[in-house]
Each structure stands twice: as C-alpha cells, then as structure tokens.
C-alpha cells in the first residue's frame, strides 16, 4: 500500500503581469502559500510522498528569492517530496531545481529528480523521466524499464503530453502512454496540463495548484493517489487547494439595458471577490446610457476584484432617438452628430460619445 | 432708430451748436478742421451711451476751456416711429431726461429706458462699452477708426445676433456659443494627441514611446534569458563532450599500452628471426658452393673433350684447304692466257670501227655541200628580184605621205569648187531667130549657155545684157578655187589625175611588200651575204678531198667490237672471282692454324684446374648434404617469421606512435573542453542568480500594458481627430452657408472697388480680409485706402443684415480720407444704396467737395471754430 499526493505545474516565479500592483503581489505569493497548503494536506492525509512531475518553477531563470521561497515552503512537508524537471524548468545546466540543492539546505526529504535513477519510498518505486531540454521530439519515458521481476508498486513520474490527449497540440515531449503502461506501471503521475485530467485509470494530470490563465479547465486541485498493491487500480481523489478563483464565462452578447443589468447582477454575486479574477468577452449594441452605465459598473468591479479583464471592443453604442432629442444640438453640432451616427464605426462611436459628453458639459 | 436732431451747449468749446435735422437717408455735416464735427459726433455718443453721472477724465474734457457752464446735449431720435428726446447734462448738476409723447423718464430710469431703446447691454461701464453696446460700435465709426477691421467692433452679442439672423435667413441654426465651446474643447483635447500638422504629440507620442521602450526592455530581457539558456545548453554540450573525451582518452591509453606490449613481443621475435636468418644464409651458401664445384668439374671435363675434338677437325680442314688452293692456282694461269687473246681481238675490232666511221663522215659532208649549193642558187635568184623591186619602188614618188597630201588637196579643191559653184550664175540664151551674141552669130533655135561668177555682158544686136552674180564674194571664192587647183596640180605633178595618182600609189605599196619578203628570205638563206656564201661553198668543195674505204659497215664493225669487249669483261670477272677464292682459302687456312693454337693454349690452362677439383661423385655427395641442412634452416626461419608477423611485425612501432599521438591529441582536446567548460560554467553561474524570468515577465506585462494603453489612446486620439474633423467640416459647411447672405449683400459693392476679389471669412464667420484667387489678404495687410473702403462696406453690410427691417444710423467721421476719386464715386454709390435700404447714413467730413456727388438730402456746413 502506498499513498501519495500528485500535484504539478506549480510554475513558481510566474508573475501574472496582468494583475498589477498589490493584487498582483498577492497572486504571485499565493503560489508559494498554496504549496504550504499542499504540505498541510500531506499531513492531513498522512501520505507517503508528494510527487511533483514537472514545471515546479515557471522558468529556470527565476530569481534566487523564488528558489529560497520554495525551500522555505518545502520545510513544512512531512514526507519525501519528489520534484521532476519539466519543460519550463528542464535539467539543464542552469536548472533552477539544481540550484535548489535540498541536501545543502537541510531538506533531505526533498528529491530533485535530475536523472532517471528510481527512488524507492516505502513499498513503491518512483521512476522519474526528467526533461533535459525544453522541447524534445523524443518520448521522455522511452527509457523507463519494464517491470521484469519487480513485484512492487511502480509509479512513473513524467512531464509531457500523452499521445491521445495532445492530438493537434505541441508535438514535443510526447509520451506514448499505452507503451508506458504496458511496461507494468501501476500509475503514471503526469505534469504539463494545467487542468485536472484523468486520462486513464492508471494515469492522470493533477493540473496546477493555482491557475495561471483563464483558459485552464479545472485547475487548483491535487490528486490523492492510493495504490493498495502492485497491479491494483489506483484510487484517485481530487482535493481542492487553490486560493484564487478564475472566472471566465462564455462570451456574452448584450442587447439592451436588461442584459447589462443581468451581467452586473452576476458580477455583484461573486464571492471572495478579492481572490477572484474575471474575464469578460462582451459584444452587442447598447445605448449611450447603458454603455456608460456598464463602463462605470465595470470600473467599480475592477477595483473590487483581484483582476477584471473586460473586452468591450465588440460592444457598439448607438444613440437612441431619445438621447438624440435630449442633446439639443443647434447648428453644426447637430450636423456633426448626424455625420458621426451615419459613419457607424468604433471611432465614430467614440467620437460621438465624446461629443455628447462635451455638449452636456458645455450646456 | 433714426437720429432727428442734435443740439449741444457749452460742449467742448462749442457754446451752442445745432444740427436741426437729419435726413432719414443721407446727411452730410461738413466743415473745416476744428469746426466741431468730431465734438458733435462725441455729443451723439454721450447722448445715447454715456451715463450723465461721474466726472471721469473723458467727461471732464467736455467742459469748455475757461467755462464754468455744464456741458449739455439734447438729442431727438425716433424708434419704430415713436419720437424721443434725451437731454443730458454732465459734471455740474448732472441730469438725464428721456421724454416722449406724454411720458418722461429721469435719471436712472431714463438711462434704463434709453438702454432698452438702443438695445445695449449696459451704458455706464466704459470698459465694457464695446462689448455691451450691441451693434453701435460697428456703425459708429469715429475719426481714425475707419481703417479698423470691422470684426474688432463685432462683439459677441452682435455676432450671435448676426448668426441667428443669417441662420434665420438660410433656415439653419447658428453655431452658437455652445458649438464654439465644443469645438474649442475638442481642439484642446485633440492637441494632446496631435500637432496642428497631424503628427503625434503629447499623450499619443508618450504612449508610443512608452510602448517602444517596453518592447526594447522586453527584447533585452528576452535576450538575457536566451543568453543564459544558450550558456546552459553549451555547458550541457561541453559536459557531454568532456565525458565522451574522458572515455575516449581512457580507451586511447589502453590502446597505447596494448600497442607497446605488442611492439615488445615483435622486437623479441625479430631478434630470433634474425639469428635464424644467418644460419639459413650460411646453409644456403654451402649448397651454392657445392653446386658450383660440381658444375665446374663437369664443365671443365666437357670443355677439354671439346677442344680435343676441335683440334682434330681443324687438322682435317687444313689439308682440304691446301688441296683446293693448288687447284685454284692452275685455273688462274689458264685464265690469264684466255684474257690476252681476247684483248687482241678487241684491238682489231676497234680498227674496223674507225674505218667505217670515216667513210660515213665523208658521205655526210658531200650531202651537206649539195644542199648548200641549192640554197646559194636560190639566194642569187632572190637577189636579182629584190634589185628589180627596189628600183620600181624608188622610181615611184607615190608613197603614203604624198598620197595623204593628195587626198587633202583633192578634198580642198572639191570644197573650193563647190563654194565657187554656189556663187555662179547660169544664163541660157536661145535664139528665136538668127542673131548675133557677143559677136557670135546664132541661128534660130540655137542655144548658148553661160555660167559665170563675174559680171557678164552679152552683146546683142538690139542691146547689151549685163549679168551680175548675186554672191557677195565671188572673187575670193574664185581665188580659193584657183589656189586649191594649183595645190592639187603641184602634188599631181606629171600625173594626169587624182585617180591615176592613187593607182600608182597602190602599185608602189605592192612592190614594197614584195621587196620586204625577198629581203627577209635572202637574209635567211645567206645571212652573211650572197658573195660570202658563194665563197664559203667554194672553200668547202676544196676541203672535201678523196673518198675513204672500209672493210665492214659501221654497224657490223661496232657489233664486233662489242662482242670482243664482252669476252674480255667475262674473263676479267672470272679472274677476279678466282683471285678472291684463292685469298679466302688462304685466310681460312690461317684461321685454322690460329684456332688450333688457341685451343691448345686453353686446354693447357684447363687441365690444372680440373686436376684440383674432386671428382663428380664426391662433389654430388657434398651437395646433397648441404641441401638437407638448408631445408631445415628454411623451415625454422619460416616459423620464426610467422611468429614475428603474428606479433604485429614491422607495424607495431608505427601503430604505437600513431596511438601515442592520438592519445596526446585527445588529452589536448579534453583540456580545451575542460577550460571552455569552466569558463562557460563561470559565465552561467554569474547570470543564474539574477531574476531574469521576473524581468522578462515584468517587461512582457509592461509591453501588454503599454500596448493596451497605446491602443486605447490611439482609439481616443483617432476618435478625437475624427470628431474634430467632423465638427470643423460641419462648422465650415454651416459657416459657408451663413456667410452666403453676407456675401450676397456686400460683395456687389466690393466688386466695384475690388473687381477680382471676394470676402474672406475666418472659422467664426468674421470677415478677415479679401480673397483674390487662392490668396487671402488679411485686412491688416491691405492699404490704408482699401482698409477704410472695405471696412465701411462691411460695416454697412453687416449692419443692414443685423438691423433687418429696422432703420439704424451709421455715423462716419472723416471716414474716407484715404480714398481716391474713382473709388470715392463707388463708395458714394454704396452710401446711396445703403440709404435706400434701411440705413440712415450720417457723414461728417472736412472734404465737403468729395461728397458733392452724394446727393445728400441734408447738408450742414459748420463754420465755427474752437472757442
């Protein structure tokens, strides 16, 4: 029987540049804090090990403070922690994991898997398949040994895209999962895919512990893996761990004030707002009043949320008849309003909004 | 509004002055300088627009010098047909009274009512007069103000009124203050993004610069990361290279050790092989020596036997040779006898040939002599013929030259006769009855014909007939004819006619030809002359002598001589062959002797050597024993050679040297790689401590942020530009429409003075000058005359537009002082037209005569001077 936590793609050192200021700093630091939350889960579930198959760091050129922050976070783990080089932090000469040097910093329970030397922990043997380059057309697991006479629990630790899973994506670092499982592994702990994805009863991507972008599906979890004996089907239990929430609803078409009201109501209903990042892709046609109302409201939400990425480039504005009548534009101003309305381009819409604003201001 | 009358008391030096009436059309107030025109204009202004209160300097100046009386003005005017009188007193007991039919206002109420009547915003604030007096600054052209741009006197109220009026006229809404504010605001907003020429500036330029700088930072950060990755890859590559080289160096060392051991083994094998090779060589020499001894013994024996045999043969051959020599000697003697007999026969044949040849020569000489005699005879005949022909030729004078002269003379005579014949007259006389003619008697029917070139008289019994030829020169022609005849006769000489002369000439030419032929044949037959030939012939006859004799014909004799010579030659050949054979026998015989002697010497020399050698059997035994020893040595050498080759042979040292060099090269390369690796690792370690990834991400975020900001700013800038262009376009279009009535009203008058120009307006619709073609001349750049002409015309035009249906006065104080006569006429016409519409034109001038043609309804001539 062996029990371990499978987590991956911590991408430590990722700055999340889109989130500016203090909120950006909180988001960045949270990636380390969540590592400590994983340590707490390790304690809670009394696991034999924690396996991190790749992309521990976002890049090998992260600064020394990131490396030290990881050292500090790793001290909280009660069990061996296996750190595998991935495509973001391959085992090159400048490897950040190499710089971690756990043995030199009293982290004897931390194993940096810079070679394919197996690591035996309890009843299980972990077979690492480290990446030595950021991109390689070769299967990183091609060299892992077959079971042979080994009667113990065998776990492959690898980073890359499995064949069936990555069809149409990057052809580098591709893993032939069928061939790998045919070698007699009880479980393949995979890294690279940032969302939780169980690709086989014996193989899974745990995903990243904290999301890095809106397009990721089911990030922010770790997998509790329990294998009773060699040959037994692993029991996989996802455990939520992320602190940040990344909300990216489908692109929404706004057609009038009611739609604006509905959208704003949904935004108002968001909880834990200071840890929530929202991406909005909006389109439609709004009156000047609704467009202004929407902009003002989004401005407010942008201030409250950890981050708001609202794309309103496809939201067109049209002066309603009432708005035109309210303008009271004598002389050439009325002519200019008519000209801009007839142009029906984004620039013309912006110009019209400015003109309306100025007319109101002058009046 | 219409001015009706003006009266002042104690006003700036005028004790009392009255302009009792003003025409509602044209009024001229003239007078010399200091007559009070401008003071009256000021009085008009004070009556309408100045507060009666206060003692500001401009009011204190109203008081007459040395007077204590308060300045006072009384003005009558009408508004919308209602007549009003305003009376104001300044400085002392200031007062203001406004009265109309049945009603009077005083003091402030009077001013308020007056303000309403003149449609002014305020009357008592001098600073804001221009801005608050509505239309009046435009139509109140004080002295020296006529050259001012009318737009300067166009305050906001009038501008607005004008725009509204014009807008009403064209059915559009005027720009209004809101529109102007908006345009002004948009221009200010746009100026933060674009320069007036459309180049980015301000916020837009800053955003572009920020974006470019962010990109540059990102580029540098990315390059730094790329450099580190390159270094890391290089370290990995060098480490792999180092490991490979270490492994290869280890292998190279092993191979060097192996080569060295193989070389040692090969050296030992080579020593053993060399020893055995000496043994084998000695055995081989022994075999060779035995073989040579045996071969020598056999050869010597065989040679001695051959020598003996040859000596025996030589003895036999010598005997045979001697016998053959004796036979040949006998043959030689017999042959010599045959040769002597044959030579005698040859001599006899030669004599017979000589006789035969002498006879043949004599016969040939006789034949030649006979032929020569025939030639001499022929030559004699030819000589005689030649003599006769030469005599004939010499006797005839008709050679070719004379015949040519004859032809010429005959032609000349013929020509002269013809000429004479042309001049001659022919007279035929036929006697009708018997008569005499020049003494000759003629019977009836008898005729006489006369031909003459000279006058001829025919004497008849009844008279004389004189015939005179008609030619002009008969005498000369006759003389020429005679001369030609004389010349021809001289050439003919005794020859009777020209034809005869020509016949004789032909005969002479034939004789000459035949003479030439005879001479040539004679020269061929007797080149030295006939006499010499005859003498030579005679001498040859004498030399011929008697006829010789011969025993045989020459051919037979020559045949006999050839036969005898052939016999002698055959015998000589046989004699030579015999001598050669005899000599060869003697040589052969000597050779036999020589060879025999040589063989005997050789045999004598060989016998001792043969005696020193063992016999053949013994030598054969020795040779067999040596061959056995050699076979054993060869076998052993072969085995040792195989062993040497198996140990590497001669290649071991080269292999060892090659491998040692390879090891050294690998060591050197390994050292280089280690050095490079250490350097690269040091470079890498120097950079990995930096947070390059953070810098890249920060730069990326900055690029994203600046790009987004720039995008927003560009959109903002573009929208502002679009807005500004749209507003300006709309405003320009509206203004163009608005100024249309102004143009329509003013430009007919403008064209009278400036025929090729039209008004130029600014964006606010204010007149700013004149447009001539594509060039705009600002008002301020026009000449002084043009300024006052254009200014007055524009003022009148704008005033009439703003006044609408109302009648308003326009006051011009010395307004056209810079205008020439031609333009003045045009301006007067313009005044007249303005007065015909709704302007009350009041002109104050010191050039009274200039306005004689105006046709003013009222003319006040001032005469007073400043008191």
Q: What is the mean pLDDT of residues A270-284?
A: 96
The alpha-carbon gap from B783 to the nearest alpha carbon of chain A, in Å, equals 35
Taking CA–CA distances from B727, the nearest residue in chain A reads: A336
Up-side HSE of residue B657: CA atoms within 13 Å toward CB? 4
First to last CA, chain A: 80
Provide ipTM, 2 decimals.
0.89
Higher pLDDT among residues A163 and B789, named by residue: B789
Of B228, B704, B735, the CB nearest to A61: B228
Cβ within 8 Å, pair B691-A354: no
Question: In chain B, pLDDT over 90 holds for what percent of residues?
Answer: 22
Q: What is the percent of chain A with per-residue pLDDT over 90, rounded to a whole number?
A: 77
Comparison of pLDDT for B35 and B255, the residue scoring more: B255
**Which DSSP string do the residues of B46-78 spell out, in sequence order?**
HHHHS-S----HHHHTTSPTT--SPPEEEEEEE
Spatial distance between the Cα atoms of B117 and B98, rounded to a whole number of angstroms: 11
- The torsion region of residue B690 among left (phi > 0), alpha (psi -120 to 50) and beta comes to beta
CB-based burial, B85-110: b 16+ in 10 Å, e otherwise: bbbbbbbeebbbbbbbeeeebeeeeb
**Is the predicted pLDDT of residue A303 greater than 90, yes or no?**
yes
pLDDT at B124: 60
Task: For residue A168, name the pLDDT band (cuts at 50, 70, 90).
Answer: low
Q: pLDDT band for position B346 (50/70/90)?
A: confident
**All residues at 6 or more sequence positions from A329 whose CB lies less than 8 Å from its CB, including other chains:** A336, A337, A359, B178
Nearest Cα of chain B lies from the Cα of A358 at a distance, in angstroms, of 6
Tell me which chain A residues have a C-beta less than 8 angstroms from the C-beta of B739.
none
- Write down the mean pLDDT value for chain A: 92
A2 has pLDDT over 60 = yes
Q: Which of B179, B232, B729 is nearest residue A331 as measured by Cβ atoms?
A: B179
A147-151, A278-282, B179-183, B276-280: which has the highest mean pLDDT? A278-282
Sketch out chain B's domains with CATH numbers. 2-191+728-861 (3.40.50.300)
Nearest-Cα residue of chain A relative to residue B168? A331
Q: Say if residue B125's pLDDT is above 70.
A: no
**CA distances, B860 to each of B20, B478, B755, B844 (Å):** 9, 136, 34, 9
Nearest CA in chain B to A331: B173
The answer to whether residue B643 scores a pLDDT higher than 60 is yes
Q: How far apart are CA A312 and CA A295, in angstroms?
A: 9
Name the residue among A60, A61, A333 with its Cβ closest to that of B182.
A333
Say what the pLDDT of residue A266 is.
Answer: 96
**Mean pLDDT score, A344-357:** 87
| CA–CA gap between residue B113 and residue B110 (Å, rounded) | 5
User: Which of A220-234, B123-137, B286-300, B631-645 is predicted with the least confidence, judged by mean pLDDT?
Assistant: B123-137
Q: Which residue on chain B is closest to A63 by alpha carbon? A: B691
**Encoded tokens for B325:** 């020599």
What's residue B34's pLDDT?
Answer: 84
User: Mean pLDDT, to the nearest integer, of B709-715?
Assistant: 92
Element (H, E) at A180: helix A177-181
Residues of A in contact with B228 (CB under 8 A): 60-61, 94
Q: Are A11 and A88 in contact (CB under 8 A)?
A: yes
pLDDT band (50, 70, 90) for residue A296: very high
For residue B218, the model assigns a pLDDT of 95
pLDDT at A165 over 70: no
Supply the pLDDT for residue B800.
82
Lowest mean pLDDT among B284-288, B502-506, B760-764: B760-764
What is the structure's pLDDT at A362? 67
Q: Which one, of B44, B29, B137, B39, lies nearest residue B88 by Cα?
A: B44
* Region A2-240: CATH code: 3.60.21.10
Instruction: Give, as one character, the DSSP assignment of residue A234.
Output: P
Of A90-104, A113-127, A323-337, B699-713, which gets the smallest average pLDDT? A323-337
pLDDT of amino acid A363: 58
- Residue of A79, A75, A88 whose CA lies nearest to A35: A75
Tokens 């990755």 found at: B229
Which range has highest mean pLDDT (A151-155, B366-370, B563-567, B630-634)? Answer: A151-155
Residue A318: pLDDT band with limits 50, 70, 90: confident
| Cβ atoms of B13 and B65 closer than 8 Å | yes
Residue A299 has a pLDDT of 95
Q: What pLDDT does residue A59 have?
A: 95
| A1-15, A242-256, B450-464: least confident range | B450-464
Which residues are CB-neighbours of B792 under 8 A, at least 6 positions away? B141, B146, B812, B815, B816, B827, B830
Q: Cβ B236–A92 below 8 Å, yes or no?
A: yes
Whether residue A332 and residue B228 make contact (CB cut-off 8 A), yes or no, is no
CB contacts, 8 Å: A331 with chain B? 167, 172-176, 179, 731, 734
Locate the chain B residue with the closest alpha carbon to A64. Answer: B689
Q: Among A157-166, B684-693, B694-703, B706-715, which stretch is predicted with the lowest mean pLDDT?
A: A157-166
Per residue in B65-79, pLDDT tens?
888 889 999 999 999
**Closest residue in B to A57 (Cα–Cα):** B693
How is residue B107 written in tokens? 């003091």
Instruction: Place A83 in a pLDDT band, splitting at 50, 70 and 90.
Output: very high
- Token pair belonging to B384: 């005689």
Residue B58 to residue B42: CA distance in whole angstroms: 11
The H-or-E segment that residue A4 falls in is strand A2-6
Q: From the list A63, A333, A343, which residue is nearest B179 (CB)?
A: A333
Instruction: Identify the sign of the CA torsion B302, B304, B305, B311.
Output: positive
Residue in B176, B231, B719 closest to A351 by CB: B719
pLDDT of residue A167: 54
Provide CATH 3.60.21.10 ranges for chain A.
2-240
Q: What angle do CA B415, B418, B419 make, to 5 degrees?
A: 90
Judge whether A164 and A177 are in contact, CB under 8 Å: yes
Residue among B124, B120, B110, B143 nearest B46 (CA): B124
B693/A63 CB distance under 8 A: yes
Res. B83 pLDDT band, cuts 50 70 90:
very high
Least confident range from A34-38, A257-261, B683-687: namely B683-687
Given a cut of 80, is residue A217 above it in pLDDT?
A: yes
> Is the distance from CB of B458 to CB of B431 less than 8 angstroms?
no
DSSP A77-95: -SS-EEEE--SSS-SSTT-
Q: Average pLDDT in the B650-679 region?
A: 93
Closest CA to B82 of B67, B100, B107, B62: B100
Q: Cβ contacts (< 8 Å) between A55 and chain B: which residues?
A: none
| Confidence grade of residue B471 (pLDDT, cut at 50, 70, 90) | low
Which tens digit of pLDDT belongs to each residue from B19-60?
999 998 899 998 888 888 888 988 998 898 888 888 888 888
Looking at residue B733, its pLDDT comes to 82
Output the pLDDT for position B203: 93
Q: What is the pLDDT averaged over residues B405-423?
A: 85
The residue ranking higher by pLDDT, B321 or A307, is A307
Mean pLDDT of B553-563: 87
Average pLDDT of chain B, as a whole number: 86
């Amino acid at each position: 029987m062996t029990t371990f936590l499978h987590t991956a793609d911590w991408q430590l050192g990722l700055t999340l540049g889109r989130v500016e200021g203090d909120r950006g700093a909180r988001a960045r630091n949270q990636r380390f804090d969540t590592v400590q939350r994983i340590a707490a889960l390790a304690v809670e579930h009394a696991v034999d090990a924690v396996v991190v198959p790749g992309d521990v760091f976002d890049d090998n050129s992260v600064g020394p403070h990131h490396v030290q922050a990881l050292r500090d976070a790793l001290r909280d783990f009660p069990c061996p922690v296996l750190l595998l080089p991935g495509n973001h932090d391959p085992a090159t000469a400048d490897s950040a994991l190499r710089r971690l040097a756990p043995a030199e910093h009293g982290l004897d329970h931390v194993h940096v898997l810079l070679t394919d030397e197996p690591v035996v922990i309890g009843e299980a043997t972990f077979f690492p398949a480290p990446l030595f380059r950021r991109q390689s057309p070769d299967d990183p697991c091609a060299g892992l040994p077959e079971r042979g006479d080994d009667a113990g629990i065998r776990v492959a630790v690898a980073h890359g895209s499995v064949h069936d899973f990555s069809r149409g994506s990057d052809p580098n670092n591709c893993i032939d999962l069928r061939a790998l499982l045919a070698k007699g592994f009880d479980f393949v702990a995979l890294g690279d895919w940032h969302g939780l994805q169980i690709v086989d009863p014996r193989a899974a991507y745990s995903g990243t512990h904290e999301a890095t972008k809106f397009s990721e599906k089911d990030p922010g979890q770790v997998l509790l893996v329990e294998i009773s004996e060699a040959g037994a089907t692993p029991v996989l239990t996802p455990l939520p761990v992320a602190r940040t929430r990344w909300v990216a609803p489908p692109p929404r078409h706004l057609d009038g004030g009611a739609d604006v009201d509905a959208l704003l109501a949904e935004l108002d209903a968001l909880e834990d707002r200071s840890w929530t990042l929202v991406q909005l892709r909006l389109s439609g046609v709004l009156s000047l009043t609704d467009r202004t109302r929407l902009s003002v409201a989004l401005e407010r939400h942008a201030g409250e949320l950890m981050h708001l990425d609202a794309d309103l480039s496809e939201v067109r504005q049209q002066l309603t008849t009432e708005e035109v009548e309210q303008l009271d534009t004598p002389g050439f101003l009325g002519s200019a309003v008519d000209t801009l309305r007839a142009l029906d381009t984004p620039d013309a819409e912006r110009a019209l909004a400015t003109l309306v604003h100025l007319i109101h201001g002058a009046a | 509004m219409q001015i009706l009358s003006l009266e002042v008391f104690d006003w700036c030096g005028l004790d009392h002055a009255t302009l009792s009436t003003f025409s509602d059309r044209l009024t001229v107030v003239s007078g010399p300088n200091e007559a009070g025109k401008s003071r009256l204009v000021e009085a008009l202004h004070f009556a309408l627009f100045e507060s009666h209160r206060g003692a500001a300097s401009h009011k204190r100046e109203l008081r007459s010098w040395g007077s204590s009386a308060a300045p006072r003005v009384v003005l009558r005017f009408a508004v919308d047909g209602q007549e009003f009188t305003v009376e104001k007193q300044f400085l002392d007991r200031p007062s203001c009274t406004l009265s109309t039919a049945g009603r009077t206002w005083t003091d402030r109420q009077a001013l308020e009512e007056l303000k309403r009547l003149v449609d002014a915003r305020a009357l008592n604030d001098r600073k804001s007069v221009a801005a608050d007096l509505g239309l009046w600054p435009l139509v109140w052209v004080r002295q020296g103000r006529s050259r001012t741009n009318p737009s300067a006197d166009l305050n906001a109220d009038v501008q607005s009124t004008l725009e509204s009026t014009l807008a009403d006229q064209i059915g559009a809404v005027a720009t209004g203050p809101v529109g102007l504010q908006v345009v002004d605001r948009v221009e200010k907003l746009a100026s933060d993004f674009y320069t007036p020429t459309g180049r980015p500036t301000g916020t837009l330029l800053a955003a572009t610069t920020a974006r470019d700088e962010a990109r540059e930072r990102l580029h540098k950060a990315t390059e730094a990361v790329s450099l580190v990755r390159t270094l890391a890859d290089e370290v990995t590559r060098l480490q792999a290279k180092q490991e490979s080289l270490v492994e290869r160096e280890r292998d190279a060392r092993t191979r060097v050790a192996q080569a060295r051991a193989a070389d040692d083994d090969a050296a030992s094998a080579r020593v053993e092989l060399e020893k055995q090779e000496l043994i084998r060589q000695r055995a081989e020499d022994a075999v060779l020596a035995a073989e040579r001894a045996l071969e020598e013994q056999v050869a010597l024996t065989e040679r001695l036997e051959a020598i003996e045999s040859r000596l025996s043969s030589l003895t036999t051959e010598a005997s045979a040779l001697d016998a053959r020599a004796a036979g040949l000697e006998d043959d030689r003697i017999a042959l010599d006898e045959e040769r002597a007999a044959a030579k005698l026969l040859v001599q006899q044949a030669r004599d017979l040939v000589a006789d035969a040849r002498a006879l043949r020569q004599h016969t040939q000489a006789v034949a030649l002599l006979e032929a020569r005699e025939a030639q001499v005879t022929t030559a004699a005949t030819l000589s005689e013929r030649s003599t006769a022909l030469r005599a004939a030729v010499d006797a005839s004078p008709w050679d070719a030259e004379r015949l040519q002269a004859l032809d010429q003379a005959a032609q000349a005579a013929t020509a002269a006769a013809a000429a004479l014949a042309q001049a001659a007259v022919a007279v035929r006389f036929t006697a009708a009855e018997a008569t005499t003619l020049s003494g000759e008697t003629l019977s009836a029917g008898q005729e006489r014909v006369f031909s003459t070139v000279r006058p001829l008289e025919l004497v008849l019994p009844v008279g004389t007939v004189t015939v005179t030829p008609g030619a002009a020169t008969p005498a000369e022609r006759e003389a020429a004819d005679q001369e030609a005849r004389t010349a021809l006769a001289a050439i003919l000489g005794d020859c009777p006619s020209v034809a005869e002369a020509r016949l004789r000439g032909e005969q002479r030419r034939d004789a000459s030809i035949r003479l030439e032929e005879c001479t040539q044949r004679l020269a061929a037959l007797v080149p030295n002359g006939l006499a010499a030939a005859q003498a030579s012939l005679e001498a040859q006859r004498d030399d011929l002598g008697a006829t010789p004799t011969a025993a045989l014909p020459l051919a037979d004799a020559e045949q006999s001589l050839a036969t005898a010579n052939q016999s002698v030659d055959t015998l000589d050949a046989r004699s030579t062959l015999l001598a050669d054979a005899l000599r060869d026998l003697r040589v052969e015989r000597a050779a036999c002797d020589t060879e025999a002697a040589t063989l005997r010497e050789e045999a004598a020399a060989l016998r001792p050597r043969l005696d020193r050698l063992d016999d053949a059997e013994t030598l054969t035994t020795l040779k067999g024993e040596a061959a056995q020893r050699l076979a054993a040595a060869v076998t052993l050498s072969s085995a040792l050679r195989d062993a040497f080759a198996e140990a590497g042979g001669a290649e071991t040292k080269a292999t060892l040297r090659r491998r040692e060099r390879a090891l050294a090269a690998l060591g050197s390369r390994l050292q280089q790689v280690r050095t490079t690796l250490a350097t690269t690792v040091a470079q890498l370690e120097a950079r990995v401590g930096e947070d390059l990834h953070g810098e890249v991400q920060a730069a990326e975020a900055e690029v994203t942020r600046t790009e987004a900001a720039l995008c927003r700013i560009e959109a903002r800038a573009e929208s502002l530009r679009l807005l500004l262009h749209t507003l300006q376009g709309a405003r320009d279009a509206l203004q163009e429409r608005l100024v249309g009535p102004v143009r329509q009203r003013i430009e007919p008058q403008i064209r009278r003075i400036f025929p090729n120009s039209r008004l130029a307006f600014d964006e606010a619709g204010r007149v700013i000058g004149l447009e001539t073609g594509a060039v705009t001349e600002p008002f301020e750049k026009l000449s002084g005359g043009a300024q006052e002409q254009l200014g007055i015309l524009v003022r009148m035009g704008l005033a009439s537009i703003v006044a609408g249906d109302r009648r308003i006065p326009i006051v011009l104080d010395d307004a056209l002082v810079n205008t020439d006569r031609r333009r003045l006429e045009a301006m007067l016409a313009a005044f007249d037209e303005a007065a015909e519409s709704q302007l009350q034109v009041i002109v104050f001038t010191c050039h009274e005569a200039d306005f004689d043609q105006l046709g003013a309804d009222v003319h006040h001539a001032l005469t007073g001077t400043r008191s």
